[in-house]
Amino acid sequence: MILMFLARASQIGNQLNLYNNMLHKITQIISVQPFQVVCKFNTNEIRKIDLMEWVREFKAGNNGWTSKLADPAYFNTVKLDSYGTLSWDNQVDFDPDVLYQMSLPLNEKQPAT
C-alpha cells in the first residue's frame, strides 16, 4: 500500500514538474523598440514580441489607461516585473505565456546563465 502511494506521489510530482516546465517567464529584456520587445525566456530562447496590434487596439479604445502604451516613449519604459513578464508604471502587464505564444524566435536556445 505504501509503495503504491509513493509511486502515485512520484507520478503526480512528475506531472507537476512537466506543468511547471511549460510555464513561460521572461528572464531578461534584451532590447526595446516602439511596440516590440526582444526578451530572453526561461527556456533560454531569445524571442521578439510584437505588440503593435494590441497597441493599436488600446489606442482605439482610448481609455487613458492602456492607450498610454501607444506613446513610443512611454512604451519604451517597459520593465521586467517579479512575475517574469513585461509591465509598465500604469499597472499594465501581460501574461508571459501569451507573450511567449505570440513571440517569434530569433535564434536557437542560449546557454543557461
CATH number of the domain that 52 lies in?
3.30.2020.10
Where are the extended beta strands (E) located within 1-113?
26-33, 36-41, 46-50, 79-80, 86-87, 104-105
Question: Residue 19 and residue 26: Cα distance in Å, rounded?
Answer: 17
pLDDT band at 11 (very low <50, low <70, confident <90, very high): low
Compute the Cα dihedral for 98, 47, 36, 80 and give only its sign.
positive
Q: Give the single-character DSSP code of 64.
A: S
pLDDT of 17: 47
**Which residue in this structure is represented by grid cell 517567464?**
25
Number of independent structural domains in the chain: 1
Cα torsion 18, 22, 27, 33 to 10°: value is: 170
**Residue 85 backbone phi and psi in degrees, to 5:** -140, 170
DSSP 84: S
Would you tell me how many other CB atoms lie within 10 Å of the CB of residue 100? 21
Structural domain includes residue 21: yes
pLDDT 10s digits, 38-55: 999 999 999 999 999 988
Q: Which amino acid is at 83?
A: Y
Q: With a threshold of 0.85, does the pTM exceed it?
A: no
Which has the higher per-residue pLDDT, 64 or 31? 31
Q: Looking at the domain assignment, is residue 18 inside a domain? A: yes
Show the domain range for 69: 2-105
Q: Is 113 part of a structural domain of the chain?
A: no
